[in-house]
Chains A and B, each alone.
Chain A
Amino acid sequence: MSNTLVLIGTDAAGAARSSAAGLIAAAAGLGTPVAVAVVTPGTGDALAAQLGALGAAQVYLAETDAAGSLLVGPQLEALAAASAALSPTAILVENSVEGRDVAGRLAVRLGAALFVDAVDVAVVGGATTTTHSVFGGAYTVQSTTPGSLAIVTIRTGAIDARADAATAAITRLPVSVSEATSATIDAITVSTEVSSRPELRGAKTIVSGGRGVGSKENFHIVEELADALGAAVGASRAAVDAGYVPQSFQVGQTGSTVAPQLYIAVGISGAIQHRAGMQTSKTIVAIDKDPEAPIFEIADFGIVGDLFTVVPRVIAALDARAK
């Protein structure tokens, strides 16, 4: 069976990012999943065990002192070295800021076809074939390549499948990273503020606020509903432009594209700009005072009313139910 490499991103503590499970499962559907991670020399045993439990048949630990100090280069050299050793037919990377940088450089380095933001990947008729959800899910596009190697970035949270646990064979390979072609990391600040809520991308439930929330001070009403549901917090472009929340909260054609099980739009009229970022959510709930708001055209459950009255009642009803 052909090898599929998976680049594993790690958090500040050296553990695999939550995306690892889906990426390894996707790789297992294509061939033998080989996890590739960058570590400082002599470390990574716990990480390798974790990756085996997630289904990696092999774990390549690329050892370099540049881990954590040089940007992109360590992961790039790790994948290039593992690729030279294992001749994979596909290399899977999370469609994150860092993952895309590595995938882009690697595709040029190896002369491979590059597919970005895939929501699924499979072997069809012997060729790696990717599925993409385009323009917020308005279109589904499938792509392939006549080439022998496909590098694919996978949308965060898109793969629900999980692979069976395996006992991974561990290979350590030293890699050298050129300082001349890498940017240097000066500091990483883990944001503790947002860690109490799920990440927007990949969240099962999202509560978003729009212009109707009225002010930065009022936005806590959206956050309280999110916390009552264990949800991530999002916002429309209008709310971001008005300065209620930072740009990282934005859901829409600019900003994040999300597809949670439940999406609750609070005070959002539903311009195309916003709808295109959330219209493939499984269930959509809208709360807005304007009965003609376009958001109601796609909402499974819409409430026409004053959000400042409705939302506290919803929170109270959720609390009552929890007791």
Chain B
Amino acid sequence: MKIIVLVKQVPDTWGERKLNPTTGWVERDPRDAVVDEINERALEVALAHKDRAKDTEVVVLSMGPASATEALRKGLAMGADSAVHVLDDSLAGADLGLTAAVLSAAIASIGFDLVIAGNESTDGRGGVIPAMIAEHLGLPVLTALDNPVLTDASVSGDRGIESASMTAHAALPAVISISEAAPEARFPGFKGIMTAKKKPLTVVTVASLGMDAAATGSRNTIVSVAERPARTGGRKVVDDGTAATELVEFLAAGRLI
């Protein structure tokens, strides 16, 4: 089985994240860039399958600036067999439609039985790319799986939907995404880090994918970006036994209870 895992490099969620006030794009400082944790879990699903079925081939795919090489190298160190990096300056600030079109073209050119993504990135939080790719490729999509179970012919699992839990399955080839409930990812070992340097990392562009960037350009336009003023603290009391009563009075005064 050939599995493509989508990987995105994002700003670290433990730091403060910013938007560029002019473009509205996420400020991507390479020093704070990390592999989105949900993608590491997605890769773990593929690698766990590879542990059981040795003929499994795992490809990590990322679209992003030059620094995204680091994210792909980490994927290779964790155990992926090869990496593909869509690197093209014309894609800076790409909207969802353009991103999905480019990733779909790259996925089709690599070939696959299964595409695994995270349910949503921690920066854009769109959560729509897996479904968009599935539509481009004419395949079923099964998103937000807590515990994907893979066989040679199908993928199944549980997913949390609004106030209910669903069990579902799809025949392969298919596109799936996993939720944060999926198992935690393994750490790259020393051997993995050393062998990663020898694994193939292919760089492709919009032109080499046979796409016309102008024909697939962004449709979304950012009108305005406003930063919210910082919130300030209010009353702070040290509990001397009466704080609870004070709090309830505060809530009642604000008609919050």
A interface list, Cβ under 8 A from B: 9, 11-12, 17, 71-72, 96-98, 100-105, 107-109, 112-117, 124, 129, 134-135, 137-147, 153, 180-191, 194-195, 199, 205, 229, 246-248, 250, 252-255, 261-262, 271-273, 276, 279-280, 283-285, 291, 296-306, 309-311, 313-314, 316-318, 321
Spot the interface stretch: B78-86, B124-132, B199-207. B124-132
| Bound-state Cα–Cα, A131 to B185, Å | 35
Q: Mark B136-158, 1 if CB is under 8 A from A, else 0.
A: 10111111100000000000100
With both beta carbons as reference points, the residue of chain A lying nearest to B142 in the complex is identified as A183
Q: Across the interface, do A229 and B17 meet the contact criterion of CB distance under 8 Å?
A: no
Q: Across the interface, do B96 and A107 meet the contact criterion of CB distance under 8 Å?
A: yes
Q: Across the interface, do A101 and B247 meet the contact criterion of CB distance under 8 Å?
A: no
Q: Across the interface, do B251 and A143 meet the contact criterion of CB distance under 8 Å?
A: no
CB distance from A266 to the nearest CB of B (A): 12
Q: When the two chains form the complex, which single residue of A134, A191, A302 contacts B165, counting CB atoms closer than 8 Å? A: A191
User: Which of B222, B232, B244 gathers most chain A CB within 10 Å?
Assistant: B244
**Interface residues of B, CB < 8 Å — how many?**
82
Q: Across the interface, do B19 and A186 meet the contact criterion of CB distance under 8 Å?
A: no
Q: Across the interface, do B237 and A248 meet the contact criterion of CB distance under 8 Å?
A: no
Q: Which of B160-211 contact A (CB under 8 A)?
A: 160-170, 174, 179-181
Spot the interface stretch: B8-16, B46-54, B62-70, B107-115. B8-16
Q: When the two chains form the complex, which single residue of A17, A143, A252, A314 contacts B248, counting CB atoms closer than 8 Å? A: A314
CB distance from B82 to the nearest CB of A (A): 27
| Bound-state Cα–Cα, A117 to B96, Å | 13
CB distance from B232 to the nearest CB of A (A): 7
| Bound-state Cα–Cα, A115 to B24, Å | 14
* 3 closest Cβ pairs, A-B complex: A305-B239, A104-B131, A313-B244
| Bound-state Cα–Cα, A11 to B174, Å | 27
> Which residues of chain A are near B24, meaning CB under 8 Å?
141
Q: Which of B2-39 contact A (CB under 8 A)?
A: 13-19, 24, 37-38
B interface list, Cβ under 8 A from A: 13-19, 24, 37-38, 95-97, 100, 119, 122, 125-132, 134-136, 138-144, 156, 159-170, 174, 179-181, 219-228, 231-239, 241, 243-245, 247-248, 250-252, 254, 256-257
Given A109-B135, A313-B245, do A100 and B236 touch, yes or no (CB 8 Å)?
A: no
Q: Across the interface, do A272 and B14 meet the contact criterion of CB distance under 8 Å?
A: yes
| Bound-state Cα–Cα, A253 to B125, Å | 9
| Bound-state Cα–Cα, A103 to B174, Å | 18
| Bound-state Cα–Cα, A252 to B17, Å | 13
Q: When the two chains form the complex, which single residue of B95, B128, B165, B243 contacts A303, counting CB atoms closer than 8 Å? A: B243
Q: Across the interface, do A97 and B161 meet the contact criterion of CB distance under 8 Å?
A: yes
Given A183-B170, A253-B122, do A108 and B163 touch, yes or no (CB 8 Å)?
A: no
Q: Across the interface, do B166 and A101 meet the contact criterion of CB distance under 8 Å?
A: no
> Which residues of chain A are near B237, meaning CB under 8 Å?
301-304
18 contacts between A and B (CB under 8 A): A96-B162, A98-B161, A100-B143, A108-B97, A113-B220, A144-B223, A180-B140, A183-B142, A188-B164, A188-B165, A205-B256, A250-B180, A301-B237, A302-B236, A302-B237, A303-B238, A303-B247, A321-B257
